[in-house]
Structure 1
């Protein structure tokens, strides 16, 4: 299972990279927007505001879309699934319990860590992932103001499965003895502190940026007054168009650090997040530049001063 997951994440990262390269090289569509292979490709990549302005899409494509506000479902699934895994792993770590047999059956027992005490890293990363999902769920419910944008049903299904796969990937980092119920001591390492600190820093900035986006559609009293798009300013928006995507990448990098840098499987996840978020950022950056003539020229799409 770990080898399969690692290969799947690597292939997924390669697919997102290929899509990004095709998108960057693609000139004006040779066919009517929304039609043919090019239209299907664009429809699979774009969501929300980046789908607008591309002409009338065929009826069969419109049937394959769901409201963007259904993003909330991703985090509901993540909170439930990764919370379940967190409880079982906590029991195995501190109470001498073992993971359910069906989970152990799915995970080939491989001891990823070079030293026994580093089993705590997996528990810590799973906790960070669960907290991240809880925060994003709360933001979807009480902070973000969703427009009438849509996402493709394939994107929706991918999002539902994504956090299940991510949680399972973290579980693959757990050494064999912990899975079988051997209680081990906790030892905090320097990279745990660095990783958690970076996680908190990136999470705070991501939340601030999401609040900035939400406030563009609210009055000073907090009432929603518009669903239109405006140019955001403040925090990391001063340097990039999509700082919340950049913060998402940093959050996953922080988890790689918390795992001790050496988990190849998790770095495959990071690469997947990198290219996925870069792809979404390029599309959003394109939208802002196309629709706002006064859009700041110095802003990059995704990574400050770089890309």
Structure 2
């Protein structure tokens, strides 16, 4: 009777070393989201000192009767920019976490050949590490997807040689992080402390 009950359970399990699959999926997916969102933030949510803002100011000065409209558009621009770069920031923290977990799974953990986990737990893990990074930027997903789709379509139509050169300035891509709010940096500090603590615990185990 024990063998009869044990056989079906064995069929619905996978080796515990498949934990590695969670972090492979997480690293690939988080990296893709991070670089796409970062490119979107760099190109579509620039600094408020960009020429587009100057043109808005000039339009206001020449019009002379749209103070409230100008203030609202300026505030909306700042809020959107902050929201985009906040999402980049938390995705960057997620990337740091999943990369470390992947390295630990490959080089630190030693799984017993007989160790198994239920297939439901395995599928739940895959779902979690797909959904968790996406949840950090879900409010921006439609516009970022549109941005990426437009780039791909432009590349297909024009080809590599006719694509405009991508101008990248390191300071412009890092400077917005310095303008994040204080509580976001406190959250990042708590995350990094927990990150180091978990790393030390796993090294001991």
Is residue 83 of structure 2 the alignment partner of residue 123 of structure 1?
Answer: no
Is residue 38 of structure 2 the alignment partner of residue 90 of structure 1?
Answer: yes
What SS does the aligned partner of 2:136 have?
helix
Alignment-derived partner of residue 120 in structure 2: 154
What SS does the aligned partner of 2:44 have?
coil
Q: How far apart, CA to CA, are the structure 2 residues paired with 1:83 and 1:140? A: 18
Alignment-derived partner of residue 6 in structure 2: 58
Alignment-derived partner of residue 71 in structure 1: 19
Q: 2:38 touches 2:88 (CA, 8 Å); kept in 1?
A: yes
Alignment-derived partner of residue 195 in structure 1: 187
Residues 179 and 194 of structure 1: CA distance in aligned 2, closer, same or farther (over 3 Å):
farther
Q: Deviations over 1:212-268 (max 9, x none)?
A: 11xxxxxxxxxxxxxxxxxxxxxxxxxxxxxxxxxxxxxxxxxxxxxxxxxxxxxxx
Q: TM-score, normalised by structure 1?
A: 0.42
Which residue of the other structure, out of 153, 157, 169, is the alignment partner of 2:135?
A: 169
Give how far 1:115 is off: 3.0
Q: Deviations over 1:69-124 (max 9, x none)?
A: 11000000000011111111011001239xxxxxxxxxxxxxxxx93323221111
Gaps of 5+ in 1: 1-31, 35-54, 98-113, 214-307
Alignment RMSD: 3.0
What count of residue pairs does the alignment treat as equivalent? 144
Residues 77 and 175 of structure 1: CA distance in aligned 2, closer, same or farther (over 3 Å):
closer
Alignment of 1:203-222 (within 5 A): 203-213=195-205
Q: 2:36 touches 2:144 (CA, 8 Å); kept in 1?
A: no
Question: Normalized per residue, which structure has more helix?
Answer: 2
Q: How far apart, CA to CA, are the structure 2 residues paired with 1:61 and 1:179? A: 41
What SS does the aligned partner of 2:140 have?
coil
Q: How far apart, CA to CA, are the structure 2 residues paired with 1:90 and 1:96? A: 10
Gaps of 5+ in 2: 46-77, 148-172
Q: 2:22 touches 2:125 (CA, 8 Å); kept in 1?
A: yes
Q: How far apart, CA to CA, are the structure 2 residues paired with 1:192 and 1:176? A: 24
Q: TM-score, normalised by structure 2?
A: 0.62
Alignment-derived partner of residue 107 in structure 2: 142
Give how far 1:171 is off: 1.7
